[in-house]
Amino acid sequence: MGAIMFPFVTYGQSAADKKVQAGLTFNAGANFLSPSSNKIEVNGGGSVLSIGLNLHSALKSSQNLAISTGLEFDFGKNNYGPNSSDGSSYTFVDYLQDDVILTNEEAANADTYETMQLVSRKVSTTKLTIPLMLLFRTNFIGDFRYFGKFGIRNSFLLSHSIDDEGMATTLGIPNGTNVSTSLMRSPGEMFIYNGSIGLSAGAEWNFVGSTCLVLEAGYYYGITPYFLNRKEANRTMYNIGTELVFPPSRDYFSAAARQNQLIFKLSILF
């Protein structure tokens, strides 16, 4: 019996005694935009998928306290549109057919461009995320130990694209033609850094040798803007004034929101 039990004891001790664990991680979850402006509203939840590296490093000689960090590539989506509660004010964007959304300043200096009454927008982003979490964990109970984390996710924007749905307009009057654009660029529309603080909890299974399978779920609250509050010359969305003047006046604005996330994380650590 002792010979039979010996391998299992050895496996548990080897995983427990490791000061540093590193391996691959895969995340899947949901994004939730929280508008801080009455100019936009959310059209359902977004999504996030991530792949990268995960690292747990014990603090000094403690088995129960560690730092959790890593390097992850996040592929996120969010859906929003103009606030439809006030039908008297429509939102417009100007764009070129070669995939560029025009700013206030660019539209004023452009010879020709298209205008759309915006109905809905989908933003796709690629970000580099570096989580920094304090990890509290139990001792191994058999092949399992359980943990909680608290800390911050630091995300840096690498690229983005915008898909718009709306109606073509002439001088601010929709002409009844539905239009859509895809993979549009709007440099400076998105805030380059997104920080969020949160909590997660999960379990670690030492299933062979010192190799562990880790499953966790966490919720992260955004503490930085998702969009960049740009100078008026660099804003892209606008409302048209109701006064009878030609050309009609434009009231440019920036979207304003924060992003919260619910993330499920699966890692294999060695």
> Read out DSSP for 99-148?
TEEPPHHHHHH-S--EEEEEEEEEEEEEEEEEEEEEEEEPPPBTTEEEEE
| Residue 244: per-residue pLDDT | 65
Q: If you count them, how many residues does the chain have?
A: 270
The SS3 of residue 88 is coil
> Read out DSSP for 176-235?
EEEEEEEEEB-TTSB-SEEEEEEEEEEEEEEEETTEEEEEEEEEEEE-S-SB----GGG-
Give the rounded distance of the alpha carbon of 87 from its chain centre: 30
| Residue 248: per-residue pLDDT | 77
8 A C-beta contact, residue 95 and residue 106: no
Confidence of residue 243 (pLDDT cuts 50, 70, 90): low
- Render pLDDT for 13-64 as a digit per residue (tens, 0 to 9): 467 888 999 999 999 999 999 999 888 999 988 999 999 999 999 998 788 9
| Residue 14: per-residue pLDDT | 62
| Residue 164: per-residue pLDDT | 94
Distance between CA atoms of 176 and 182, rounded to whole angstroms? 20
Q: Which residue has the higher pLDDT, 173 or 257?
A: 257
Cis previous bond, 82, omega within 30: no
Q: Which helix (H) or strand (E) holds 252?
A: strand 250-253
8 A C-beta contact, residue 47 and residue 31: yes
Please name the residues in contact with 60: beta carbons below 8 A apart, sequence gap of 6 or more. Answer: none
The SS3 of residue 1 is coil
| Residue 93: per-residue pLDDT | 93
Confidence of residue 11 (pLDDT cuts 50, 70, 90): very low
- Render pLDDT for 219-232 as a digit per residue (tens, 0 to 9): 999 999 999 887 88
> What are the tokens at 231?
């100078």
Summary mean pLDDT of the chain: 89
Distance between CA atoms of 155 and 72, rounded to whole angstroms? 9
> What are the tokens at 13?
């001790």
Q: Note the pTM of the prediction, 2 decimals.
A: 0.88
- Render pLDDT for 50-109 as a digit per residue (tens, 0 to 9): 999 999 999 987 889 999 999 999 999 999 999 877 555 789 999 987 778 999 999 989
Using a pLDDT cut of 90, give the percent of the chain over it.
Answer: 67
- Render pLDDT for 190-222 as a digit per residue (tens, 0 to 9): 899 999 999 999 999 999 989 999 999 999 999
pLDDT at 247 over 60: yes
pLDDT at 260 over 70: yes
> What are the tokens at 139?
């001792």
Most confident of the following: 65-69, 83-87, 165-169, 235-239: 65-69
Average pLDDT estimate for 109-125? 92
